[in-house]
Structure 1
């Protein structure tokens, strides 16, 4: 008596992957996860900008904030989580862009549609703007986190205000930071609203409002970060505080 052979288990089944990895196994799931990580990173941008705007309040306010932040026990865990979010978002961006390019080739092989071409153009632009932002982020980490720039007159470990103003005062940082924030704004302007669509939250009644909120959010975030390399090195009071001798740290 013959028996029907059981279907060969897939790689996902053999590895007994969790529901999260199963989600990443589908195109829709990958886009949803990329959208979720993008929105979480938007939240980080709000907090990060709020902290950076304390530069306008002067040395005491900014150094006090930086000192408080670095004393928090949750900071290493938060940084690790942020790193994972960035890696996952970047990885999914590469995968999705590759899928869209294959879809474009298939569309040309069959029947090209304006809608398909428009969607792929948008994804390509998102990928390009994201790549520029990634380059800006790498320089930002080298500048602020690692302190490896040879052309920056870094201060001591606790002189966050002086170090930040010194970095923003270099021609390289001013140019790259302003360019990076412009591309960040473009990336957010489309990414914010498309994230809701990828999460299945698009609706004819609310989508226009979501797009408007996304554009306003992008403008506020980009303008806030753009103002720092533009204005901070040109403010005499800020520069004077940054170049003053450091007080002994307790």
Structure 2
């Protein structure tokens, strides 16, 4: 057990934990976006999916696991940033590459804080938002389709979500590339490919979520 504590306390160990938890969160984002795309298929399919998801006995263990991974990722992000600040105070002359890495870490922390605030607002507005009943073959379930459609009818909400998704995309681009470096996949031949792949994935994911936002904003949900 001591070896594990020493490992995760080391610089490389922290990077590996950040990379692994980040990849897990990225996997969640992919599945979440896939579920969101069911919005385009109409209220019946979207509400049926949402009801099946929230009524599953696995939902609470899954949410606890997701929150745990998210919290670990946040803790290690602040821990890494704290180490960078300490190192900066101890060194009078810092190599350019090292200084760039520290600036990148600070940038990631700031965008990460924005994402945390976004998640809190998003969960409060959607998961714990208004309950609108929907009849599904004689069974009353939550009309999440209408809830989402109504939620994205104010310009402020739309702008906040679009800005947040852009920030998420920037965060993902840097995180995806850093994760590959942390696990030793940096290579002269493949580095340009990995960088391009990071940008493409970040743009694709952010654009996907933004597309759902605009679809909801233009829907016939109540204003």
Q: Please give the TM-score of this superposition, normalised by the length of structure 1.
A: 0.80
Q: 1:174 to 1:103 in 2, by over 3 A?
A: same
Q: 1:158 to 1:21 in 2, by over 3 A?
A: farther
Alpha-carbon displacement from aligned partner over 1:76-116 (angstroms, at most 9, x marks no partner): 11111100110000111111111112222333x2x232112
Which residue does 1:7 correspond to in 2? none
Which residue does 1:159 correspond to in 2? 143
SS in 2 for 1:192: helix
- Whether the aligned pair in 2 keeps the contact of 1:129 and 1:187 (CA below 8 Å) is yes
- Displacement of 1:119: 1.1
Q: 1:20 to 1:48 in 2, by over 3 A?
A: farther
Distance 1:18 1:40 in 2: 25
Alignment of 1:169 onto 2:146:
no
- Whether the aligned pair in 1 keeps the contact of 2:131 and 2:142 (CA below 8 Å) is no
Question: Please, which of 50, 57, 65 is the counterpart of residue 81 of structure 1?
Answer: 65
Give unmatched runs, 5+ long, in structure 1. 1-16, 148-152, 244-250
Alpha-carbon displacement from aligned partner over 1:93-142 (angstroms, at most 9, x marks no partner): 111111112222333x2x23211221111111111111111111110111
Return the structure number with greater relative CO, CA threshold 8 A, min gap 6.
2
- Displacement of 1:201: 2.6
- Whether the aligned pair in 2 keeps the contact of 1:168 and 1:174 (CA below 8 Å) is yes
- Displacement of 1:168: 1.8
Question: Please, which of 200, 211, 215 is the counterpart of residue 216 of structure 1?
Answer: 200
Distance 1:23 1:56 in 2: 46
Which residue does 2:136 correspond to in 1? none
- Displacement of 1:203: 2.3
Give unmatched runs, 5+ long, in structure 2. 134-140
